[in-house]
Structure formats: C-alpha cells, structure tokens
Amino acid sequence: MSTTNRLLQNDLSARLAGALAALTLGVAACTGPARDAMPAAAPAKAPKELTQDERMAWWREARFGLFLHWGLYAIPAGEWGTATGHGEWIRETAKIELPEYEQLLPRFDPVKFDADAWARMAADAGMQYVVITSKHHDGFGLFDSKETEWDVASTPFRRDVLRELADACARHGLRFCTYHSIMDWHHPDYLPRRGWEKRDADGADFERFERYLHAQVSEVVTRYHPAVMWFDGEWESTWNHARGVKLFDLCRRLAPAMIVNNRVDVMRGGMGGFNSSSEARGDYATPEQEIPATGMPGVDWETCMTMNDHWGWNKHDRNWKSSKDIVRMLCDIASKGGNFLLNVGPTELGEFPPEAVERLADVGRWMKTNAEAVRGTTASPFDALPFGRATVKQGEGRATLYLHVFDWPADGALRLPGLANVARSARLLADAKRAVTVARAEDGLVVTVPGAAPDPVASVVAVELDGRVQVHRPPGIEAASSLFVGSISVRLVPSVERSVLRYTTDGSEPDVASSPYQGPFLLTDSAIVRARAFEAGRPASASSARTFTKATPRAAFGPPSRKAGLVCERFPGDFDQLPDFETLKSAGRYVVDAVALPTGVAEEHVARRFRGFVELPRAGVWTFGLLSDDGARMRIDGELVVDHDGLHGPTEKRGEIALAKGCHELVVEWFNKTGGAELALVAGLAGEALLPIAPERFGYVPAPKADEEGAAPGDRARGR
C-alpha cells in the first residue's frame, strides 16, 4: 500500500470510529443507565506529577551518552555520482529525486547488525544512555510503523531495530532514547518541498502531515518507552511555536516521566541550541558541534557532536577526532554542567566503523578509572584553571572537588585561587597510593602532586573539602560600556559579600594599600581598572581587569540631498560567508524602509546589501545589535562595528562606537544559505535598552540615475 493510500485509509478509519463513538454516546444518553447496574468503580488515583528536578535526575547523573544516526543513507556511504562528501543529508545535498532515493529501500539489509554489541560498546565506554534515529529527515523509520510502509519492515532486513536495541540497552543498564525528525522529505503532505524537487506539492496538506507525525510519535513512545524524545528538523517555516506546544503536550500525556529536548519548539537560538524565549518548550538545550564557552548556569544542556565530520556513515571521512580530544571534551563539558552526546554513524552492514570502536574502547578505559569525576557532578566553581578543568560532587557537610589535569605542572603545584574551604585530603584516582598533599596558600589552596602524570590525556585529582564549595572569584567590573565620552561610572561586584574589594586604575595589581571600594567611581580618562577581593587583610581572590577607553565621537555629515529609506541590493548565490559585493552583479536594486528582510517564505541562497545613512538624535557611545541567520556585518562611517559573519542560526552580536549627533553612513551586509532567514538591527546609547531604529531615521543620497533600478512596481512597499 502506498503512503498516500495508507494515510487516506487511516483518515477514513478514524472518521468511522468517531461516528461510531458518537452514535454509542447518543444511545446511552437516550436510554439512561440500567436500573440494576453495578455501581461505578472508584476512579483510579492520578499518578503523582513529577517535578522537573525529578524528571531530569537520571539525565543529570548520566553526563555521557551515545548518539546513533543510521538509515538508508548508510548504503551510499557518502558517495553519489563523483561526489564523496555526503552524509545523512544525502538526499538534499545530492538533490536526489524521490523515486530514485526510494531505490535504496530494497537494498537495506544490514546482516551484521548486533544490538547487543552496540549496547555493550556504549556501556563499556562509560555511557549511560543511547539515542537512535527512529526517523531522520528522509522519513525512513527504523521500526514497523502502522502509518507508512517507508520503514524497516519493508526492507529485506525486516527486523525491528528499535525493539532489539531497546532490549539490549535494558540488559546493559543503559537508558534507551529516540531521535525523531519533524522534517520529512518523503511524506506527501510535508511542506515545504525541497527547492530543487520536481515533485508537485498540489494537494499537500500540512495539517494531515502533523496528524501523521503525532501518530508516529505515539507509536514510538508507547511501544518502546524511550527515556528521551530527541526532536530535530523544526526550523522550516511550516513548523511554529503552537505546533511545538501541541507535540510537547502529547509527549507529556503519553509519558509524563519522559524527557523532551528543546527542538520540539522553534525557539532554539541557532546551533548554540539555547532557548531564546521563556515561552519555549523543551526540558534541555541542545548545542550542536560546539561546547559553550562558559556553559549555562541553571540550565540543563547537552552538546551533541560527531566523531568525524558526518553524522551518518561516510567511508571517505577520515577526519576522526582523537581519543584524547574526546576524553578532554567530556571533561570540559562536565566542568560546565552539561552532557556529552557522542555520535557514531553505523555502516550499511550494521557495524560500527573500526575507528569508532577504537575510540569508544579508549574512552571506556579512561572512564573505568575516572567515571566518578564525571557522573553525578556539577559545574566547576572556577571561571578558569590553567591546568585543565574541574567538577564537583556536593554532599552533606562535605564536597569532593575533582581536578581534571590536562597539563601536569612542572613544579608539582596545582593552584586553586579563591577556594575558601578547609581541605581534608587529596588523592589521585589513577593511583591512590601516590602521595598528594593540599595546603592553604595566600589566596586559595595549593595541591602538590607527584612528579609524573599517571595519565597523559587527563589525570584526575580528588580533593575532599568541608562544607559547600565556596570560591572567591575575581570581582566583577561593571559599566555601561568599555568606551566612553566625557566620563563613565564604574561599579565593582564581589562574589562573596563579606569580602573587601580593593582596586587600581593604572593596571597594577591591587594590594592591601590600594583604594578600598566604597561605591561607584568615575573615570574621566582612559584607564585599566584592576580589582581583587581581600579577607582579614590578605588576598582572597585573583584579580580581574577591564580596559576603558575615552573616545572622540566621529563627526556627522550633512547629506547634500536625501530620500527616505535605504538602498538594498540583492545577490543570488550559494554562500558560506559574506562575499566581496564589489565583485558581484546585483539581481535587483530597490529602496526599503529599514534593515529588514521581505516577509513571507524565507529566501535561501541569497545575499543582500543595505546602504544609506542613519540619523542619530544624540551624541555618545552607541551600541548596535545585529540579529541574523546566517551571516551579517555592519559598518558605520566605514568602520566595522559588528562582524557576525559565517553560517549560524538566529543569534545577535553587538558592537559599539562613539558618534556625534547627526547623519552617519551605514552599510549592512547579509547572506542566507538554507533554512530560516532573519535580519534585524537595533541600537541604543550605552547603558540604555537597544530598540529598533525608527524608519524615519534612515535615508540615502539619491544617485544621478533612478534609485530603484531593476525593482518591480510595489517592491518598496512589500520590501521585496
């Protein structure tokens, strides 16, 4: 049966079932209850509603999981025609029409698939959970779905991959989880179509697709009971917040204890993966292929990352991360309070590539010794440590501080600046018999270790402390800006309230004779402010520093003539970064009211340049914020103020510049490759809220020829 026919049959069955239910209810309402009917049983007691902490407890304890991307795309193994760089996106990247891609279905026969071997390798690597693609963007499912025949049951293999792996995970003490794509390049009702597809979209009904999606998710959740539902593919224009809320609520109803990632909704801030709104649904954030520089205190997050350059199997991809890199990434992520979801793309035969097997075994050997420094830990109390990373396990009246040492100290001293706790003991996890001592230093603790590192990748030292971990961090140095005109007020913020702060303005290290901080102070000249915390007349923290620069505002100019709006040029092309616009010929030149994109469906494979000037109502240091997806840049009077170039999701970057009151030349450049498209410019004086610039503030100097050359009638009004 075709997918379309099955959908129609399911739709008809649902209608008949609904009509029968309505008829039954109508009969019951007419006749009323039987006179001698048995009394109704007492309603079942509702299960206790889980708190978020209860739901997330096992996941926070786990810290390390295995990601598996497997499907039909493993068969070509990255090759299509003469190209060898494809992966799980091969249908899109190689522009394969659906009938041709469907020829992979009868070729899927991974005779070497062994779910028990997969689960054993994950468990031996120290992982605590496994996430596998129940369905990726190509729509193919690794389970026997009643909603479609585009699944593993229609292949020569026929076996239920999800069932076998779920059972194997249970045997090896792993949590079984599933990845499910919202995007579906195979389903006849999914929209939008690929831009290159010949398949007609007439008659496609996205509401019908949404019912199909909910039905498949219900199958996965009720049959396999995944501990996590890991959604993806939410960024296309047909998916929105309301749909995300419905899908999230469905998951909550089906399995209240199940964790759902934030890609169920549309408010993920690009590849960084953190929610951009408090209204967003999802239990945790999902940065992809990157580790946040400082983590996200108070937020659950998980970095997903490939072992080489592809999620799905590509036999030509030899760019494997080393075992050393993977172990250190695990330490880094745990030190920032996150989880690490490390990917393997199994081969077309159902095996892990030997390079992946080797790396999992190496990580497993490290975890066998050091797992206690990863599992169940929380983020480092230090902003940075020169020798490596740190994690913490907090207990009743005591704590264990784990030092993940990447660079073994030549002098044998691991310095822990600002650590205020009393230390009881210290030990090497790799060799508890080797002597390790800990002592109080001027502004913290010093751990003295033996001469040679027990592990060249990462040696872990456990330091036992009294009480809750308390670190005197370097004081915060706060001001409206690092750039100022006239004068600027500076405020110091302690990390521990009882500490005394002392500071200098000449860049020298603060000591007991330096000025005590008694409240905000003014700078009238450029300065380097340094600050440090003191207790009982002794340094209690390392020092912090911030440079302040006094600037002369750039002079405004008087346009000889002006028109309202900005001149925008459009440049089609497949860009990975902003092009040199001077070498390109525009496909259209027209006037727009502000720095903004056309409304409607997001345009892909295009760049735009906006030129003109902005009139500022006041002089001072101006902060500009540029939100874009993908790359963007902004120049004022020829100076680069915001550089947000490259491929990324919808994120904002800011820059500041001192400007006089009046008109200043403005150039904003932007490009989009695929997916969503966003561009917005906001501005404000330093210390004030950044707001959209009113259209009447924009203008341009008309050229001798028509300014809207190449624009269709009404383009300016539509912003096209």
The average pLDDT across 39-50 equals 60
Please state the rounded mean pLDDT for residues 580-606.
Answer: 92
Does the pLDDT value for residue 31 go beyond 50?
A: no
Say how many residues make up the chain.
720
DSSP codes of every residue in 530-568? EEEEEETTEE-S--EEEEEEE-PPBPPB--SS-EESEEE
Q: Is the pLDDT of residue 222 over 80?
A: yes
pLDDT tens per residue, range 332-345: 999 999 999 999 99
How far apart CA 219 and CA 206 sit, in angstroms, is 20
CA distances from residue 689 to 123, 383, 553 in whole angstroms, order as listed: 50, 28, 20
**Which position has the token pair 């493993």?**
74
Cα separation, 620 vs 556, in Å, equals: 12
**Predicted local confidence at residue 705, as pLDDT:** 61
Q: Token digits for 590?
A: 């027209």
pLDDT at 665: 97
Beta bridge partners of 465: 399, 423
- Categorize the per-residue pLDDT at 49 as very low, low, confident or very high, splitting at 50, 70 and 90: confident
Mean pLDDT, residues 398-405: 98
Q: What is the pLDDT of residues 359-371, one digit of tens each?
A: 999 999 999 999 9
Across the range 390-415, mean pLDDT stands at 96
User: What Rg, from alpha-carbon coordinates, does the chain have?
Assistant: 30
Q: Which residues, in sequence order, are CB contacts of 48 under 8 Å at separation 6+?
A: none
Measured CA to CA in angstroms, residue 417 lies from 341, 508, 509 at distances of 32, 19, 15
Centre a 10 Å sphere on the Cβ of residue 670 and count the other Cβ atoms it contains: 26
Is 505 a residue whose pLDDT tops 90?
A: yes
> Mind giving me the DSSP string for 120-164?
HHHHHTT--EEEEEEE-TT--BSS--TT-SSBGGGSSS---HHHH
Which residue has better confidence, 428 or 677?
428
Question: Average pLDDT in the 382-407 region?
Answer: 96
Q: What percent of the chain clears pLDDT 90, i.e. is strictly above it?
A: 82
Nearest alpha carbon to residue 711 among 597, 609, 610, 589: 589
Cis amide bond preceding 494, omega within 30: no
- The DSSP secondary-structure symbol of 61 reads H
Fold (topology level) of 52-373: TIM Barrel (3.20.20)
Model confidence at 397, pLDDT cuts 50, 70, 90, reads: very high
User: 3-class SS at 669?
Assistant: strand
- pLDDT of amino acid 453: 95
Q: How far is CA 181 from CA 97, 123, 236, 308, 342, in A?
A: 20, 26, 12, 22, 18
Delimit the domains of the chain by residue range.
Answer: 52-373, 388-466, 476-550, 563-718
- CA dihedral (636, 639, 641, 642) positive or negative: positive
**Window from 79-93, 129-143, 669-683, 706-720 with minimum mean pLDDT:** 706-720
Name residues whose C-beta falls within 8 Å of residue 479's C-beta, 6 or more positions apart in sequence.
Answer: 488, 489, 490, 491, 546, 548
Question: How far is it, in rounded angstroms, from Cα 271 to Cα 261?
Answer: 14
Position 237 scores a pLDDT of 87
Asked if residues 176 and 110 have their Cβ atoms less than 8 Å apart, the reply is no
In b/e form, how buried is each residue of 285-310, taking b as 16+ CB within 10 angstroms? bbbbeebbeebbeeebbbbbbbbbbb
Instruction: Please provide the CATH number assigned to the domain covering 476-550.
Output: 2.60.40
Three-state DSSP class for 667?
strand
User: What are the pLDDT digits (tens) for 67-102?
Assistant: 999 999 999 999 999 999 999 999 999 999 999 999
Name the pTM for this structure. 0.80
**Mean pLDDT for the stretch of residues 394-413:** 96
- How far is 636 from 653, CA to CA, in rounded Å? 15
* 3-state SS record for 488-512: EEEEEECCCCCCEEEEECECCCCCC
Beta bridge partners of 672: 606
Please determine, for residue 210, whether its predicted confidence score (pLDDT) is greater than 50: yes
Tokens of 594: 């502000």
Q: Does the pLDDT of residue 714 top 90, yes or no?
A: no
Give how far the C-alpha of residue 385 lies from the chain's centroid of Cα atoms, to the nearest Å. Answer: 25
Domains 52-373 and 476-550 share a fold: no
- Which phi and psi (to 5°) does residue 18 adopt? -65, -40
* Cα 132 from Cα 440, distance rounded (Å): 48
Query: What pLDDT score was predicted for residue 242?
Result: 96
Query: Is 291 within 8 Å of 303 (Cβ atoms)?
Result: yes
Minimum mean pLDDT among 169-178, 263-272, 365-374, 394-403: which range? 263-272
The number of helix segments (H) and strand segments (E) in the chain equals 11, 35
What pLDDT is stored for residue 710 in this prediction? 42
CA dihedral 365, 370, 375, 381 (to 10 degrees): -140
Distance CA 609, CA 582 (A): 11
Residues near 586 by Cβ (< 8 Å), separated by ≥ 6?
Answer: 569, 570, 571, 609, 710
pLDDT of 25 higher than 50 = no
Section 551-573 average pLDDT: 95
pLDDT digits (tens, 9 = 90+) for 241-299: 999 999 999 999 999 999 999 999 998 866 777 877 788 999 999 999 999 988 888 89
Nearest CA-CA partner of 242 in 289, 279, 217: 279
Asked whether residue 39 carries a pLDDT value surpassing 50, the answer given is no
Task: Calculate the alpha carbon distances from 122 to 44, 127, 168, 375, 703 in Å.
Answer: 39, 5, 11, 15, 65
Does domain 388-466 correspond to CATH entry 2.60.40? Answer: yes
> Does position 63 have pLDDT exceeding 60, yes or no?
yes
CA distances from 413 to 447, 524, 539, 559 (A): 6, 42, 19, 64
- How much is the average pLDDT of 552-562? 94
| Paired residues of 306 in beta bridges | 343
The answer to whether residue 27 scores a pLDDT higher than 60 is: no
Q: How far apart are CA 565 and CA 717, in angstroms?
A: 11
The yes or no reply on domain 563-718 and CATH 3.10.310.30 is no
The predicted pLDDT at position 262 comes to: 96
- Of 165-169, 329-333, 393-397, the poorest mean pLDDT is in 393-397
Q: What pLDDT is recorded for position 709?
A: 46
Which residue type sits at 263? Answer: R
